[in-house]
Chain A
Amino acid sequence: DQQVKQNSPSLSVQEGRISILNCDYTNSMFDYFLWYKKYPAEGPTFLISISSIKDKNEDGRFTVFLNKSAKHLSLHIVPSQPGDSAVYFCAAESGTYKYIFGTGTRLKVLA
């Protein structure tokens, strides 16, 4: 049973446009969410996070939105750049010391 779902395996976006990556979760007890970016042959790197007491968090070109009632979060990248092409994972904190990751969305930014 996948508790954190990324239903879009891949996404292509033109350079300069907005990229929107989506993530849904099933457990209303999750209270902290993160996004990681992964390039081929590298480990994931932290991108941005959000606590359940907020509905938005921004860091430069990256904004994460959280809709608790819908159990949905999204990552917006504006403007998208070719260097943003990577696999993006969302993750939720599931109790003490455990993160549950989604299956990932491969973003391709076209020049």
Chain B
Amino acid sequence: NAGVTQTPKFQVLKTGQSMTLQCAQDMNHEYMSWYRQDPGMGLRLIHYSVGAGITDQGEVPNGYNVSRSTTEDFPLRLLSAAPSQTSVYFCASSYALAGGSLTNTGELFFGEGSRLTVL
């Protein structure tokens, strides 16, 4: 059981380049999300999705795009990378109740992270 798989684990970009961080889960979770972790800032929600074809913004969405064409995959796109996007990125998934709560299990399953450096 692979859980949540993120690729790549490490990436170095130049300012202005574009790239996509991949995230896949094999637990048939409806809910998927992307967080970034920065020193002294904790984990901040970038975008999330409650099912295929549905996405919404989190706390820090600027500079990032997402799409959800399948239940399994939730890629995060940086269209024009900036040094401020240097961070560790985590994808997370969970069950989601129809009522909109994540509290049936109280648990997000995280990937191992992708460390991105923008020069």
Contacts and interface: CB of A to CB of B under 8 A. Distances in A.
Interface residues on B, range: 20 to 34
Nearest to B40: A103
B90 interface: yes
B43 A51 contact: no
A49 interface: yes
A43 B113 contact: yes
Interface stretch (A11-19, A66-74, A77-85, A94-102): A94-102
Contact of B108 (A4, A6, A46, A51): A46
B111 A43 contact: yes
Interface in B1-53: 4, 31, 33, 35, 40-45, 48, 50
Contact of A34 (B35, B40, B58, B107): B107
A29 interface: no
B44 A101 contact: yes
B112 A99 contact: no
A65 interface: no
Contacts of A36: 108
Nearest to B3: A43
A32 B99 CA distance: 15
Interface in B44-80: 44-45, 48, 50, 56, 58-59
Given A43-B110, A45-B110, A97-B31, A32 B103 contact: yes
Interface string A7-43: 0000000000000000000000000101010000111
Contacts of A41: 112-113
Contact of A99 (B50, B56, B108, B111): B108
Interface string B80-93: 00000000001010
Contact of A98 (B45, B90, B111): B45
Closest 3 CB pairs of A and B: A43-B110, A49-B106, A96-B100
27 contacts: A32-B101, A36-B108, A43-B92, A43-B110, A43-B111, A43-B112, A43-B113, A44-B43, A44-B90, A46-B108, A49-B103, A89-B43, A93-B103, A96-B100, A96-B101, A97-B50, A97-B56, A97-B96, A97-B100, A97-B102, A98-B58, A99-B102, A99-B108, A100-B45, A101-B42, A102-B42, A103-B41
